[in-house]
Amino acid sequence: MPNTSQPVVITPKDLPLYCSGPNHETWNGHPRVFLPIESNGETACPYCGTVYRLDGEIPHHHS
């Protein structure tokens, strides 16, 4: 069932992005799942449907 609440806004400093449940409680959450996201993009958790929106650009790593 998709989550219909407002997206959770994150910034590049919050990366890597993961979700462990809508309430983020260890005792009642789902398995931690890392979520891919693009700069200024959105993604949804496949377990609980929580939508995350990245506000900003992902920094590029140079070797």
Whether 2 is in a domain gets the answer: no
Whether 17 is in a domain gets the answer: yes
d(CA 38, CA 60) in angstroms, rounded, equals: 12
* Tens-place pLDDT, residues 6-63: 999 999 999 999 998 876 666 677 889 999 999 999 999 999 999 999 999 998 765 5
Q: What is Dmax (Cα atoms) for the chain? A: 42
Task: Please tell me which residue, 29 or 4, carries the higher pLDDT value.
Answer: 29
Whether 14 is in a domain gets the answer: yes
Whether 59 is in a domain gets the answer: no
Q: How many domains does the chain have?
A: 1
Host domain of residue 25: 8-54
Check: CB of residue 39 under 8 Å from CB of residue 31: no
Residue type, 3: N
Tokens of 25: 């409680």
User: Distance between the two ends of the chain, CA-based, in angstroms?
Assistant: 42
Q: Is the pLDDT of residue 1 over 60?
A: no
| Predicted pLDDT at 62 | 56
